Amino acid sequence: MHHAFKLGDAEHNVALSRSAQAYRLHIGDEVLDVDLAVGADGRAWLTLGERHLEVVVATRGDDVFVHVDGEAYQLRYRHPLDRLAAQAGGSADDHIRAPMPGSIVLVSVAAGDAVTKGQTLLVMESMKMETTIAAPRDGVIATVTYEKGQTFDRDALLLSLEAQT
């Protein structure tokens, strides 16, 4: 199966196949056996080829938040129709929701601020790990729902964007 994922500003085309023993991730000419396993203690382990890494994974719709080796990453599955909508200047990402429960560490924007794609909007903390939430597209901040120190549940509306006029 062919997929496109967005990591930061870069879009990556990958394919996933299945062998008798494992899934295989095809990135360009490279093929890696890949597995994600959760142990009885609740810890998750990602296997990429010969590497075994402890990870924390949270998902929200097409967003996947991964904490590995002290770094946090946000991946987004990109459906071809979403790519066309983005080219038309709109987005389904105008409502930015919490991928997991947590608290606000830093708010970098206010209602009315113009933002650019990739700009840091806020930093949240969950399970003692910080996650930076960035603007999914250019726009204007319509609402900021939480202030520094406030807590929220998973899927809470954190910010909303509107088109620039």
The pLDDT score that the predictor gives to residue 136 is: 84
pLDDT band at 158; cut points 50, 70, 90: very high
- Is residue 92 a contact partner of residue 85, using CB atoms and an 8 Å limit? yes
Question: How many distinct structural domains can be found in the chain?
Answer: 2
CATH code, domain carrying 31: 3.30.700.30
- Is residue 6 a contact partner of residue 74, using CB atoms and an 8 Å limit? no
Give per-residue pLDDT as tens, 10-65. Answer: 777 777 788 777 788 888 888 888 888 888 887 889 888 888 899 988 888 778 88
- Asked whether residue 89 is assigned to any structural domain, the reply reads no
**Two tokens, residue 5:** 């994922």
- Asked whether residue 22 is assigned to any structural domain, the reply reads yes
The answer on 108 and 60 residing in a single domain is no
72 or 11, greater pLDDT: 72
Is the pLDDT assigned to residue 81 strictly greater than 60? no
Burial class (CB in 10 A: 0-12, 13-18, 19+), 133: buried
Q: Is the pTM of this model over 0.95?
A: no
- Asked whether residue 53 is assigned to any structural domain, the reply reads yes
**Domain termination site, one of 52, 77, 102:** 77
> Pairing state of beta strands 30-38 and 44-48?
antiparallel
What domain range includes position 42?
2-77
The answer on 117 and 68 residing in a single domain is no
The answer on 68 and 11 residing in a single domain is yes
Write the CA distances from 131 to 13, 26, 100, integer angstroms. Answer: 24, 28, 10
